[in-house]
């Protein structure tokens, strides 16, 4: 699979050099994307090893001083002493024209991480990392051989195409992809009769800076022997489309690594905010469920409590009914055996035992009727009343029966007298011939 070499240039103003140095030394700026445990693997190619931001300022000052000296000498040769005096009063002037890109360039040279990946059977890979779109850092295995080839080839590239123009060069190894940072200090001499020889910072004096397409062509050709090629020819594609009357493809704009990380961080922040919001909603739902669960448990407990209370009432009622029935049954049994009766003492009715009731009978009856003494008293009274009513009805019935028997006996006597009179009349028997025992009932034997 072909891999494209990545070469781009960013404008730098001198005051930015300090920032670049701090980032190079991992002392400031955004270092969250760096694996500081691998920072020692970074290779710096500066021969002096000095603070390149200080060297940048010193070089600009040296050039400004030389330019001032040459300018004053040129004006002196022209005999323009008045202009020479004014120029001297102005002092040092920065040796570059103000622009939005600045007089210095920072070059970035790298390739896609897939170019550096180690084979599966590589016994000694270089362990780096990769950050996913979700912000998770995962481990990746890079080829040490490929990294070494890229390091040497990159150094040669800057030496060849930016001779004596590289103020600072390093290969960062603690980020996701090995990449070169180069601070380019490109100057151009301008000679005029009025100013003499002036040295100006002019990045476009280097043909690779002057033409982006040319830089990509040179890089693609230079790195092809280590497996890298030129990127897409998007500018040429746009020109071809215009010549053919077609709609040209959109111009591709490079996104800086920092901007890309910022966008990714913003997306992660947005996703995290959504996740936080979702978690809050879930927490709220869980809280609501917990409240409902507690309410359900409380309601269930209330229902169970009420059910237990109702059951207790029912059980107590059943026990009372059982005690009442048992007491009444005991009273009925005792009354039927003529063991108890109801008497009134001082206006209060109570149950008393008969004289013939034994102590065992008394104890058994007391145990049963004491569970519901009022009911026992009531039933005894009722039974006594019913017994009294039965006795009265039996007595009345007996009286009726006696009266009926007496009536029948009187009738029988009358019938006997009448019968005797009739027989005497018929048989002509005089009174006293036959004797009748009046005490005998009809049907008995007569005696003569």
Q: What percent of the chain has pLDDT over 90?
A: 38
Measuring CA to CA, which residue among 225, 177, 227, 218 is closest to residue 2? 227
DSSP at 36 = G
Instruction: To the nearest 10°, report the CA torsion of 171, 172, 178, 184.
Output: -50
Given a cut of 70, is residue 438 above it in pLDDT?
no
Given a cut of 70, is residue 333 above it in pLDDT?
yes
Angle at 179 between CA 177 and CA 184, to 5 degrees: 160
Quote the CA–CA distance of 58 and 192 in Å, as a whole number. 25
Given a cut of 60, is residue 377 above it in pLDDT?
yes
**β-pairing verdict for 3-12 and 104-111:** antiparallel
Given a cut of 60, is residue 238 above it in pLDDT?
no
Q: Which pTM was predicted?
A: 0.57
The two three-digit tokens of residue 17, written as one number: 């050099």
**Least-confidence region, from 14-23, 272-281, 406-415:** 272-281
Given a cut of 90, is residue 137 above it in pLDDT?
no
CB of 68 within 8 A of CB of 93? yes
DSSP at 384 = H
* Range from 98-112, 225-239, 385-399 that averages highest in pLDDT: 98-112
Q: What is the pLDDT of residues 201-221, one digit of tens each?
A: 999 999 999 999 999 999 999
Measuring CA to CA, which residue among 44, 173, 17 is closest to residue 110? 173
Given a cut of 90, is residue 327 above it in pLDDT?
no
Quote the CA–CA distance of 102 and 188 in Å, as a whole number. 15
**β-pairing verdict for 228-229 and 3-12:** parallel
Secondary structure class of 169 (helix, strand, coil)? strand
Quote the CA–CA distance of 361 and 339 in Å, as a whole number. 8
Quote the CA–CA distance of 317 and 301 in Å, as a whole number. 23
Measuring CA to CA, which residue among 159, 181, 369, 355 is closest to residue 258? 181
Domain-by-domain residue ranges, the chain? 3-123+143-254, 287-382
In CATH, the architecture of 3-123+143-254 is 2-Layer Sandwich (3.30)
Mean pLDDT of 428-447: 50
Measuring CA to CA, which residue among 424, 426, 27, 252 is closest to residue 446? 424
**Least-confidence region, from 23-32, 39-48, 102-111, 430-439:** 430-439
Q: What is the pLDDT of residues 268-315, one digit of tens each?
A: 677 677 778 888 888 888 888 888 888 889 888 899 888 888 888 888
């Amino acid at each position: 699979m072909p891999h494209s070499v990545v070469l781009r240039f960013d404008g730098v103003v001198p005051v930015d050099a300090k920032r670049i140095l701090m980032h190079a030394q991992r002392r400031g700026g955004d270092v969250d994307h760096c694996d500081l445990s691998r920072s020692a693997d970074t290779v710096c190619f500066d021969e002096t090893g000095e603070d390149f931001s200080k060297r940048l300022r010193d070089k600009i000052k040296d050039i400004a001083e030389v330019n001032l000296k040459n300018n004053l000498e040129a004006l002196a040769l022209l005999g323009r002493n008045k202009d020479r005096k004014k120029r001297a009063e102005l002092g040092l002037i920065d040796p570059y024209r103000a622009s939005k890109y600045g007089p210095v360039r920072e070059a970035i040279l790298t390739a896609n991480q897939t170019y550096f990946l180690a084979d599966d059977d590589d016994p000694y890979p270089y362990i780096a990392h990769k950050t996913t779109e979700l912000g998770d850092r995962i481990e990746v295995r890079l080829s040490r051989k490929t990294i070494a080839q890229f390091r040497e080839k990159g150094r040669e590239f800057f030496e060849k195409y930016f001779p004596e123009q590289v103020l600072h060069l390093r290969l960062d190894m603690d980020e996701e992809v090995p990449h070169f940072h180069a601070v380019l200090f490109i100057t151009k001499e301008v000679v005029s009769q009025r100013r003499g020889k002036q040295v100006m910072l002019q990045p476009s004096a280097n043909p690779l800076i002057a033409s982006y397409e040319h830089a990509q062509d040179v890089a693609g050709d230079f790195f092809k022997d280590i497996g890298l090629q030129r990127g897409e020819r998007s500018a040429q594609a746009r020109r071809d489309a215009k010549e053919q009357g077609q709609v040209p493809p959109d111009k591709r704009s490079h996104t800086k690594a920092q901007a890309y990380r910022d966008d990714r961080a913003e997306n992660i922040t947005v996703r995290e905010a959504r996740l936080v919001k979702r978690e809050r909603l879930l927490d709220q739902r869980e809280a609501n469920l917990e409240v409902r669960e507690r309410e359900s448990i409380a309601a269930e407990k209330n229902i169970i409590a009420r059910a237990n209370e109702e059951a207790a009432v029912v059980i107590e009622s059943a026990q009372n009914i059982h005690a009442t029935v048992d007491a009444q049954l005991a009273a009925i049994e005792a009354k039927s055996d003529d063991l108890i009766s109801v008497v009134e003492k001082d206006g209060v009715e109570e149950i008393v035992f008969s004289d013939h009731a034994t102590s065992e009978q008394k104890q058994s009856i007391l145990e049963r009727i004491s569970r519901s003494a009022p009911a026992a008293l009531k039933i005894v009274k009722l039974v006594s009343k019913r017994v009294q009513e039965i006795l009265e009805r039996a007595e009345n019935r007996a009286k009726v029966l006696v009266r009926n028997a007496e009536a029948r006996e009187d009738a029988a006597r009358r019938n006997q007298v009448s019968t005797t009179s009739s027989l005497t009349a018929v048989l002509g028997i005089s009174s006293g011939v036959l004797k009748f025992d009046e005490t005998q009932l009809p049907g008995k034997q007569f005696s003569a």
